[in-house]
Amino acid sequence: MKFLESKRGSALGLVIMMITLVIIIIVGLLVVGQLSTTADTMDLGTSGNATRTTLFTNTYAGFNLAVIIPIIAAAGAILGIVFTYLGSTK
């Protein structure tokens, strides 16, 4: 397959991967936000409410850290493109 062997095809695949990662993070935030809104309307008792608050606090902290994923993926993509280019020049 000529497309898979070309540098342009590899770069396009990496760009699509980056866009997909960003979309996954955004959709994940929307889903968790909707779940949080729904769960906040429920009275789960003192222990249940504390657990729910802790759960969503930790989930949002995880999404704050998830922002690093596209940055690391972009760095890996750049390194992959550079090594592919350097490896093909003979």
Residue range 68-90, pLDDT digits in tens: 888 888 888 788 777 777 776 65
Q: Is the distance from CB of 90 to CB of 52 less than 8 angstroms?
A: no
User: What pLDDT score was predicted for residue 88?
Assistant: 65
Percentage of the chain beyond pLDDT 90 is: 2
pTM listed for this prediction: 0.63
Higher pLDDT, 11 or 61: 61
Taken in order 19, 22, 27, 30, the sign of the CA dihedral is: negative
Q: Is the distance from CB of 11 to CB of 78 less than 8 angstroms?
A: no
Tokens of 54: 């802790």
